[in-house]
Amino acid sequence: MLIIGSGNMVHNLRLLALPPTGQPTDAYGHAWALEMNEVFKRLLLAGDHQALIHYERLGPAARLAVPSIDHYFPLLYTLALQDKNEQPLIFNDKVVSGSLNMTSVQFG
């Protein structure tokens, strides 16, 4: 069985931005977006589901990263499927357009 949760851990459309060069690039992120991408990955690897569920407690950068829960919910759904000793695989790890991450996680 394959279950896919599609969304973004960092997803703030109001704060989309091009890099300082003004040219589109695959990897460019605001400092808060890069910070939260790293925090979310660290929590995923540590298996800290409670911190991921209550992301808003992680501070202002987290609230910028997830201004509305709709794109974050898929991560929570997939966390519920993680086996106790299952280590996540993180891939496609990048922040784009300033405030979106394409970072993906696989369980199993």
How would DSSP label each residue in 30-91?
A: -HHHHHHHHHHHHHHHHT-HHHHHTGGGG-HHHHHH-SSGGGTHHHHHHHTT--TTPPPEEE
pLDDT at 55 over 90: yes
Distances (CA, A) of 52 to 81, 100, 106: 14, 17, 16
Instruction: Judge whether 37 lies within some domain.
Output: yes
With a cut of 60, say whether residue 20 has pLDDT above it.
Answer: yes
Query: Does residue 88 fall inside a structural domain?
Result: yes
Q: Is residue 12 part of a domain?
A: no
Q: Which three-class secondary structure state does DSSP give residue 4?
A: coil
- Provide the pLDDT for residue 27: 66
Residue range(s) defining the domain that contains residue 99:
27-106
Q: Where residue 7 falls among pLDDT bands split at 50, 70, 90? A: confident
Q: Is 45 among the domain residues?
A: yes
- Of 56 and 96, the structure prediction assigns the larger pLDDT to 56
Query: Residue 71 falls within a domain, yes or no?
Result: yes
Q: Indicate the number of domains in the chain.
A: 1
